[in-house]
Amino acid sequence: MSQLVPIKRALLSVADKTGLVELGRVLDELKVEIISTGGTLKALRDAGVHAIGVSSFTGSPEVMGGRVKTLHPKVHGGILFRRDNPTDVEQLKALDGKPIDLVVVNLYQFEQTIAQPGITEPEALEQIDIGGPATIRSAAKNFHDVTCVVDPHDYPALIEELRAHDGETSLSLRRELAARAFTRTAAYDQAIAGWFAATDGKEDAADYMPASMMLALGRERLLRYGENPHQMASLYRYASDPGPSLVEAEVLSGKELSYNNYNDLAAVLEMVLDFDEPFAVVVKHTNPCGAAVGTTIAEAYQKAYDSDPLSAYGSIIGLNRTVDRDAAERLHETPFVECILAPSFDDEALKLLRKKKNRRLLALPGISDYHQAHRLRFTQVRGGFLVQTDDQHVASRNEAKLASKRQPSEIEWRDLLFAWKIVKHTKSNAIVIARNGATVGIGMGQTSRVDAAQLAVKRAGERARGGVMASDAFFPMPDGLQAGLDAGVVAIIQPGGAKQDTEIIQVADDANVAMIMVGIRHFRH
């Protein structure tokens, strides 16, 4: 069997029109007959690309509002017949069918649809593609003879190969594209199954945790190495995860991202999505070493950096607003920044920040307008996975319980709720000390709560005086609380629920310190 297969006839039917016209023009130049459907056909014809409708090819109209287009023996027979099998060849002739050598199909945008707030069940159901997955599977199964493309990112490789081989594709490319095709249909089915399994407003874990699930992961790129140079690593795309994706972030400048970069960027992204006001965070080893809100993104970043300039060396920075010239000047002055993630960068900011060639700049527009969606978090263990729902709790004054005699002031309330958001993203045991909308001391990843408190106090120094303290879990003993009181904190926020709560509250009252109990803990291991 020949390794190279000529492309004489192609079926194009895509929901995502990215790169469609360019691909269509190349196929047109190579004298490939193009069969198309609905909006794809219109887009090609509007661009002057010659194409015929699938109804003309099959002799059957599209019916049921477009629900049935490609589900036809002439389509699937033309794709699936084995070119070296005489019986298949004769049966295709009996159907009055013709070979289809290239299938370019991407699916209705189900994942994007269900990620939008307020989507109804009928709207979601109409985005479940039927003909598309069937056509993709037919083409991918017959990859020895048929080229199957499901992602616009693969159009350049296809075009390059067609031009290099005078309109033919290699077996190695067809096999690689077939693997991606099955990964895509698997991910699509997993997203649909997950949507059916997820029901908002139910409390039983079984309502969120289906009896079985499938993780469909497509390798996006190989990485130089893992956490250490002797480990191999790759980045995989999980298409079913709702909301902004690091895989989709556009790298505007800088060298290749590493495994550790992506790991830290994941922590940055989780934090910036929790804030509506201008917010900046500086992260090292997935932990915040400084975080702040401000009236502008430049102010927020400066406050975050000032929290712990020493730890900021070699950091990953996240911002939830467009980086302007003012913010860029402050970022540019920061010694050795690995990566900066933001919704976008204005032209002046980009020009300045690109001056340091190794500094990676990533734009992810979805940071600005993301609405929290139900999602699952996976942790691999030997032989399986631990699965839990995401920690999306954000405390409000309405749910918080005043445990002490003294009420927090308005300024203290703002700082308490801010510190509570930050401690949620800090590795346990965790203590955060904040003042004026910025962290001033963070103690994280300690084996005892008093050690975490002492570390936070040490980093805060005199800045702890007049500040607030957040603890990700209750104080089992007064010693951790006392470390904060000795440093001068004036308000505490914590879950409560310890056997010693009465004693803990009394210590706060004796110091005339406000204490808020939220009733929710934020362990993060």
Active site residue 285: yes
Give dist(CA 473, CA 444) in Å, integer.
12
Contacts of 4 (CB under 8 A, 6+ apart): 165, 168, 169, 170, 171
Q: Nearest-5° angle of CA 483, CA 489, CA 491?
A: 115
Active site residue 458: no
Q: Are 468 and 416 in contact (CB under 8 A)?
A: yes
- The distance in angstroms from the start CA to the end CA of the chain is 54
Q: Tell me which residue has tokens 């102010």.
A: 299
- Token pair listed for 412: 């203290």
Give dist(CA 102, CA 462) in Å, integer.
69
3-state DSSP: the chain helix, strand, coil percent, rounded to 5?
Answer: 40, 20, 40
Q: Is the pLDDT of residue 59 over 90?
A: no
Q: Which of 186-195, 248-257, 493-502 is the least confident region?
A: 186-195
pLDDT bracket for residue 407 (50, 70, 90): very high
Please provide the CATH number assigned to the domain covering 218-367.
3.40.140.20
Kindly list the distances between the CA atom of residue 265 and the CA atoms of 255, 319, 334, 512, in Å, as whole numbers in the listed order. Answer: 15, 11, 18, 40
Domain boundaries, the chain: 4-197, 218-367, 401-517
Kindly list the distances between the CA atom of residue 261 and the CA atoms of 265, 338, 340, 344, in Å, as whole numbers in the listed order. Answer: 6, 8, 10, 19
- Token pair listed for 9: 């006839």
pLDDT, residue 129, reads: 86
Q: Are 42 and 67 in contact (CB under 8 A)?
A: no
Q: Are 237 and 262 in contact (CB under 8 A)?
A: no
- Over pLDDT 70: what percentage of the chain? 95
Give dist(CA 249, CA 238) in Å, integer.
14
Give dist(CA 125, CA 81) in Å, integer.
32
Q: Is the pLDDT of residue 495 over 90?
A: yes
pLDDT tens for 284-299 read: 999 999 999 999 999 9
pLDDT, residue 100, reads: 94
pLDDT, residue 1, reads: 45
Q: Is the pLDDT of residue 203 over 70?
A: no
DSSP state of 107: -
pLDDT tens for 100-112 read: 999 999 988 888 8
pLDDT tens for 463-480 read: 999 999 999 999 999 999
Nearest to 254 by CA among 341, 365, 347, 364: 341
pLDDT, residue 208, reads: 65
Give dist(CA 478, CA 247) in Å, integer.
44
- Token pair listed for 176: 């690689």
pLDDT bracket for residue 200 (50, 70, 90): very low
Q: Is the pLDDT of residue 205 over 60?
A: no
pLDDT tens for 152-192 read: 999 999 999 999 999 999 999 999 999 999 988 988 888 88
Backbone angles phi, psi at 344, to 5 degrees: -170, 170
DSSP state of 461: G
Average model confidence (pLDDT) across the chain: 90
* Equal fold, 4-197 vs 401-517: no
pLDDT tens for 10-26 read: 999 999 999 999 999 99
Higher pLDDT, 209 or 140: 140
Active-site pick, 8, 98, 285, 356: 285
pLDDT bracket for residue 97 (50, 70, 90): confident
Asked: is 401-517 a CATH 3.40.140.20 domain? The reply is yes
Q: Which of 55-64, 117-126, 345-354, 399-408 is the least confident region?
A: 55-64
Contacts of 375 (CB under 8 A, 6+ apart): 241, 242, 243, 389, 390
Please state, as a whole number, how many other Cβ atoms lie within 10 Å of the Cβ of residue 231. Answer: 10
pLDDT, residue 54, reads: 87
Please provide the size of the chain in residues: 525
pLDDT, residue 186, reads: 86
Asked: is 4-197 a CATH 3.40.50.1380 domain? The reply is yes
Contacts of 499 (CB under 8 A, 6+ apart): none
Active-site pick, 8, 42, 98, 141: 141
pLDDT, residue 193, reads: 80
In 256-405, which ranges are E strands? Answer: 279-284, 287-293, 315-319, 337-342, 360-363, 376-381, 384-389, 401-402
Q: Which of 54-68, 339-353, 479-493 is the least confident region?
A: 54-68
pLDDT, residue 219, reads: 84
Higher pLDDT, 79 or 108: 79
pLDDT, residue 399, reads: 86
Nearest to 73 by CA among 100, 92, 52: 92
